[in-house]
Amino acid sequence: MKAIVLAAGYATRLYPLTKNQPKPLLKIAGKSILDHIVEKMERVEAIDEIIIVTNDKFTDYFVQWKKLASYTKQVTIVNDGTTTNDNRLGAIGDIQYVIDTQQVADDLMVLAGDNLFDFELSDFVSYFFEKETDCITAYKEENEEQLKRAGVVDLSDTGQVLSFEEKPSHPKSNYCVPAFYLYKKESLPLFKEYLKEDNNPDAPGHFIPYLITHRNVHAYLFEGKRYDIGTVDSYNMVNQLFSI
């Protein structure tokens, strides 16, 4: 299994913190967001390579991070060649770029590089092997306003994804979907088909409605906290929580 950390955004909403610093390398309680994520990837036996996909502006920052890191798994830094928020490939475009340039032909984990979370990725992978389908994650969100700002899934009794809506005005359920995904190697060609059909290349959740029309997909329901760092206020709040 390969793992991709999506880190090619420009995080303009976090300026000035990210004007000259990639968001995944911001420190939370003295440790970068990326280190928090990779430490959990290290505990997944199936993963044999962690691929950090970034842009031309921030590649050197991640190269320096890698030099100072001491992880047991192979870490690869991929530069997608983009230089600004205006010419970025988008998350799904970056996934396809990695598949093409790194010749990925294994099962694939994809994570956003700006999430902190309590659950273990090894438990998510165990669920993936048990279901033998592509898998997403979901958690119960009681705040309806948060649901309206997120991806929301409707699930069967067995956890199969029946529908997925991005930022619905009337959510069908209270199952919210963050950016943690596991794809079977047989499903990887669908990314190229999705992009060829001129679908939205940006947020990774846009791919899920397309995927469920071609494959069975299950949702791993996790408990515990998960934090999406998108603004200066949310960064300060999470930093304070982790520093207690």
133-151 per-position pLDDT tens digit:
999 999 998 888 888 888 8
- What is the pTM for the complete model shown? 0.94
Confidence check: pLDDT of 117 > 80: yes
Q: Which of 14-18, 35-39, 70-74, 182-186 is least confident?
A: 14-18
What's residue 128's pLDDT? Answer: 98
Confidence check: pLDDT of 244 > 80: no
Q: What's the average model confidence in pLDDT over 197-223?
A: 94
| CATH number of the domain residue 43 falls in | 3.90.550.10
Rg of the chain's alpha carbons, rounded to an integer?
17
Per-residue exposure over 139-158, b if at least 16 CB sit within 10 Å of its own CB, e if not: bebeeeeebeebbbbebeee
**CA torsion, points 182, 188, 190, 191, in degrees to nearest 10?**
80
1-20 per-position pLDDT tens digit:
999 999 999 988 889 989 99
Domain span at residue 102 reads 2-243
Q: How many domains does the chain have?
A: 1
Confidence check: pLDDT of 38 > 80: yes
CB 162 within 8 A of CB 168: no
